[in-house]
Amino acid sequence: MSFRIDGLQYANWSEKIFRQMRDGGLDAVHVTIAYHEVFRETVLNIEQWNRWFERFPELIFHGRTGEDVRRAKETGRTAIFFGYQNPSPIEDDIGLVEINHTLGARFMQLSYNNQSLLATGCYEAEDPGLTRMGKQVVAEMNRVGMVVDMSHSADRSTLEAIEHSTRPIAITHANPAFWHPALRNKSDDVIRALGQSGGMLGFSLYPHHLKGKSDCTLKDFCDMIAKTADLAGPENLGVGSDLCQDQPDSVVEWMRVGRWTKAIDYGEGSASDAGFPPMPAWYRDNRDFGNIEDGLRATGLSAEDVAGIMGDNWLRFFDTSFGPA
Amino acid sequence: MSFRIDGLQYANWSEKIFRQMRDGGLDAVHVTIAYHEVFRETVLNIEQWNRWFERFPELIFHGRTGEDVRRAKETGRTAIFFGYQNPSPIEDDIGLVEINHTLGARFMQLSYNNQSLLATGCYEAEDPGLTRMGKQVVAEMNRVGMVVDMSHSADRSTLEAIEHSTRPIAITHANPAFWHPALRNKSDDVIRALGQSGGMLGFSLYPHHLKGKSDCTLKDFCDMIAKTADLAGPENLGVGSDLCQDQPDSVVEWMRVGRWTKAIDYGEGSASDAGFPPMPAWYRDNRDFGNIEDGLRATGLSAEDVAGIMGDNWLRFFDTSFGPA
């Protein structure tokens, strides 16, 4: 049996979107529940999810283990896994790693674009690598089973995280820089080291990460995946669509500037293109997840590799990553 | 197989005390981890427990279900269950009930001596009963499986909690007022209604709750239990020792005054007897838990009733109370 898993979304969640997850056959989705939120704000976001779980038990439930993905498939629902794009939910307190894990967090980025207490973001001019606290927190994440995610981190910090972590890490949503050079896309060195360590790369469908942006073709996207398989190994690849469906542009501003600046920062956008870009026509939302499978098959990748990239690889990674080693 | 469970302790925890739990054969202890703490402070207390669980895995672990008590017995350890003596950890936010349950909280008192947002404490002059929020929170506690504890609440609020709750509640640590009249001890009406609803009463060994205080004899204590069995049914009784071992007197002051007054309030003590009273000679600490079993046998209670009171009744209650109904 093969599974469909999306390794990252941050939508303006609603019953409509939960139903589209079912229409697209998604067995599991890793959802971002914190960008710049401190602990208490993150808990409020979890409370919001708890209300959705209570209201829509026939569509979604809170996923904590790989087994929950199988249970989701068996019961025709989507298992929702929590993750953070910044370490702000642990504040300056390493004890909050286990607390957040108990509350369901399964992925945490060590930095989001900027320098954090733990590591450097991909937009900083200098990257001094993992901090003292960063090394301690990676060890604690390894202990409890919370995945180190370096999607928005800078290269040296990412390579050091791969090296320092005793368990495989993830880059849940990014593409190779060889295909589309962007600060958020990853160097060959990073992708190779990630694959060699058994880590996972989730391919992003966020237009700023795509060659041709919103006009990127399905064929171009899938050919890039097939080429990346040579670099990282097909068993270490998945999808992390970065779907930001139905979000108002105020949210992309929150993602970019949080509370760290009084100025405007356009991130991957620009003054003339400040909001969320339109998605490619072949991936409007969860309903189109199957299109990627068709596109991957057309590249000549084996049926097993395609099934792996569509979800089986994420499931194997979930099975071994979400509890004590 | 019979079990030994203490339905409430608030000690100055240490390796010494964890070893004494093992010496006393305790399979499970419900520990207080919040008196007046708000949510973030409560989380800090949980973090402290997580460190103890990590340091002393051969002695204790975090209990969440009745099955964990059986696992504790099988592995020669003590399962630690979290509880709150006040609803301050949920602040004014009903969503924090489920969050606290996820973090392990299994008991929460609706009030501690004073009026709370939910119910009235036993030292208030007037008791208007459950508040609007109180009724909502009881329903939410019923939904997730967090036990309503009315140990420090006033009579009307307690009777209304028994009535309003769709699941049996507990008075984890108190004695009957017929034996030793004290604001903290419970009326016949409360004890009878508790028993009829399948709720649990844990007998306290805190000297202010005992006839003769620190000089109370084991025989007097156990005769009182046998007499209460006639009122509540022996299957609804357990021990909730209220052991406050090794606490400095500053802690009893925190328990009594929290941050709600700038004056001193002596609670069950007095200006001339302000600190923790000495425990009865036959129950110094966890090592003496078995003495209660000897005392109960001497009253003529059946072997089954004695086993129930020593822990089997709490285990049955844990089995049916700690998850969704």
Confidence (pLDDT) at B273: 85
> Is the Cβ of B51 closer than 8 Å to some Cβ of chain A?
yes
The answer, yes or no, to whether residue A289 has pLDDT greater than 80, is yes
* Chain A residue with the nearest C-alpha to that of B97: A47
What per-residue confidence (pLDDT) applies to B269? Answer: 83
The per-residue pLDDT for range B37-87, each reduced to its tens digit, is: 999 999 999 999 999 999 999 999 999 999 999 999 999 999 999 999 999
Q: Would the pLDDT of B275 be above 90?
A: no
- Closest by Cβ to A47, choosing from B43, B51, B95: B95
Q: Which of B46, B95, B98 sits opposite A99 (nearest CB)?
A: B46
User: Are residues B47 and A103, on separate chains, in Cβ contact within 8 Å?
Assistant: no
Q: Which of A40, A90, A101, A103 to mutate to probe the B interface, most B CBs <10 Å?
A: A40
Least CB-CB distance to A46: which of B39, B43, B99?
B99
Task: Kindly list the distances between the CA atom of residue B282 and the CA atoms of B23, B233, B260, B292, in Å, as whole numbers in the listed order.
Answer: 15, 26, 36, 8
Look at residue B212 and tell me whether its pLDDT is greater than 80: yes
Q: Given the structure tokens 């180190």, which residue do they identify?
A: A148
The whole-number pLDDT of residue A144 equals: 98
CB of A39 less than 8 A from some CB of B: yes
Residue A270's pLDDT is 86
Is residue A303 predicted with pLDDT exceeding 80?
yes
* pTM, rounded to two decimals: 0.95
A47, A95, A98: residue with CB nearest B99: A47
ipTM value for the complex: 0.92
- Taking only the tens place, the pLDDT of each residue in B93-139 is 999 999 999 999 999 999 999 999 999 999 999 999 999 999 999 99
Q: Cβ contact (<8 Å) for B47 and A98?
A: yes
- B274-291 mean pLDDT: 95
Is the pLDDT at B219 greater than 90, yes or no?
yes
Query: What percent of chain B lies above the pLDDT cut of 70?
Result: 100
Q: Residue range A267-280: average pLDDT?
A: 87
> A290: closest CA among A26, A17, A8?
A26
* Cβ <8 Å between A39 and B40: yes
| Tokens read off for B187 | 């009326």
pLDDT band at A234 (very low <50, low <70, confident <90, very high): very high
Residue B276 confidence (pLDDT): 87
Domains and CATH numbers, chain B: 5-321 (3.20.20.140)
**HEC per residue, chain A:** CCCCEEEEECCCCCHHHHHHHHHCCCCEEEEEEECCCCHHHHHHHHHHHHHHHHHCCCCEEECCCHHHHHHHHHHCCEEEEEEECCCHHHCCCCHHHHHHHHCCEEEEECCCCCCCCCCCECCCCCCCCCCHHHHHHHHHHHHHCCEEECCCECHHHHHHHHHHCCCCCEECCCCECCCCCCCCCECHHHHHHHHHCCCEEEECCCHHHCCCHHHCCHHHHHHHHHHHHHHHCHHHEEECCCECCCCCHHHHHHHHHCCCCCCCCCCCCECCECCCCCCCCCCCCHHHHHHHHHHHHHCCCCHHHHHHHHHHHHHHHHHHHCCCC
pLDDT band at A281 (very low <50, low <70, confident <90, very high): very high
What are the tens digits of pLDDT across the range A123-169? 999 999 999 999 999 999 999 999 999 999 999 999 999 999 999 99
pLDDT at A269 over 90: no
Contact criterion met (CB below 8 Å) for A139 and A146: no
Q: A59-74: per-residue pLDDT in tens?
A: 999 999 999 999 999 9
Q: Do A103 and B104 touch (CB under 8 A)?
A: no
Token pair in block for residue B109: 């008192």
